[in-house]
Structure 1
Amino acid sequence: MHDLILGILLGVSAGFAPGPVLTLVISETLRHGVRSGIRVAIAPLFTDLPIILVTLLVLSRLSGLDAILGGISIAGGLFVLWMGVESLRVEGMDPQQASTPPQSLIKGMLANALSPHPYLFWLTVGAPITTEAMQSGIGAAARFIVSFYAALVGSKILLALITGRSRAFLAGRLYRNILRLLGLMLILLAFLLFQDGFERLGACPT
């Protein structure tokens, strides 16, 4: 259950946060309709598997090195803290600014693959959580990954549907409040990652 909650929290936060893929989702929805926006929203399902496999392989080689894992956990905390602070600072998105040229699923995949966020997330946050979950069984790791991508893609699809009906949502108070609530939860998660990292480094009592 812990893995499921983490997956949903991180997935929804990443799904609602402004970024290259979300901009493409909005742009495609406004220009070509909801179906085009959904095609871009599912792009991470096609691009992230190699990233997950590589980061899990790297961490499996470091499984006995607590000092390195502690450093990775602290780096993950910094990344999640940055995500949380950015969510708190968002004032909304102007749909009129999503004026990139028409995009396809392939362009959405390229935007996701060329963004540093998936690599940073999986190296510092996703892979460590998955590796730890695997100690409880493959089912726990699968729950985290499936819930993360269900929430990530589901959030972007939901935004495509809402954008197709009301552009004002992206610049409205509800969207800002959702992001700020998610931001506070991410900041809390960041401090938990800091605690884990410092414990691995022996810098605080277990």
Structure 2
Amino acid sequence: MPELLLGLGLGLGAGVTPGALLTLIITASLRGGFRAGMRLACVPLLSDLPVVVLAVTAMGAMPGAVVRVLSVVGGLYVVYLGVTTVREARTAAPPGSGGTAPSSRGELLRGVVVNVLNPHPWLFWIAVGAPLFVSAWHRAPTSALAFVGGFYLVLVGSKIALALAIGAGRHRLTPRGYRLVLGATGVLLAGVGLVLTLRGVVPVPPPPCCAGGRT
């Protein structure tokens, strides 16, 4: 199931790519341990629903040609993220520990607000996630659900794993190790972006059973 593989790959890239939420997770894990980081790692499950619904609803009303164009644009955007991540990995370092950890409720609220106001989830679902979901849904709804499930499974799971690694041994994550992880993620993002771009340029035809559906 290619949609599931794309969801897993994109989820891993989004899960460990530098950003505001990832920085909050790392900082919370350094300050408050695994539980503090895990709470923030689950923020996308709380804040992404309106983003996904709005993006998929908008895409569902668009013709197939627009979906393919956005797939190409989204693929190129993911390639750009991959290249940018590889560049940032050369000098990236996890934030230092210190300070007083905020309350659990205030910490979670802060994470939700940061994620909702972050343009990256909106850009991803408008340019990448929604076109893939809509296209897969018209071929086989289970494939679309597998894409979303795989994406959030790895997106949240990778953030939880990072919080666990930092919380269990807060001094084990060296700058060099962090850079290697980011560099590998950047390469993965770029590769997935190329796949998405090619799928937009040469769209996969729907199976015969769905030929009467949207084109």
For Structure 1 versus Structure 2, the TM-score category normalised by the shorter chain is: 0.7 to 0.9
Paired AA for residue 190 in structure 1: G
Paired AA for residue 24 in structure 2: L
Q: Secondary structure at the match of 2:28?
A: helix
- Per the alignment, do residues 98 and 157 of structure 1 end up closer, same or farther by CA in structure 2, a change over 3 Å counting? farther
Q: How many residues align structurally? A: 198
Please state how far the C-alpha of 1:169 moved relative to its aligned partner: 4.8
User: Which of 52, 56, 79 lines up with 1:81 in the alignment?
Assistant: 79
Q: Which runs of 5+ in 2 are unaligned?
A: 204-215
The CA RMSD measured in Å over matched residues stands at 2.2
Overall identity of the aligned pairs, in %: 39
1:70 paired residue number: 68
Please state how far the C-alpha of 1:99 moved relative to its aligned partner: 7.0
**CA contact under 8 A between 2:94 and 2:175: conserved in structure 1?**
no
1:203 paired residue number: none
**CA contact under 8 A between 1:81 and 1:186: conserved in structure 2?**
yes
State the 4+ residue runs in structure 1 displaced beyond 6 angstroms: 97-101
Residue 169 of structure 2 corresponds to residue 166 of structure 1: yes
Q: Superposed, which structure 2 residues align to 1:10-159 within 5 Å?
A: 10-64=10-64, 66=65, 68-89=66-87, 90=89, 91-96=91-96, 102=102, 104-159=107-162
Please state how far the C-alpha of 1:170 moved relative to its aligned partner: 4.2
2:210 paired residue number: none
Give the Cα–Cα distance (whole angstroms) in 1 for the partners of residues 172 and 16 of structure 2.
12
**CA contact under 8 A between 1:27 and 1:100: conserved in structure 2?**
no
Please state how far the C-alpha of 1:177 moved relative to its aligned partner: 2.7
Residue 193 of structure 2 corresponds to residue 190 of structure 1: yes
- Per the alignment, do residues 169 and 7 of structure 1 end up closer, same or farther by CA in structure 2, a change over 3 Å counting? farther
TM-score normalised according to structure 2 size: 0.83
1:4 paired residue number: 4
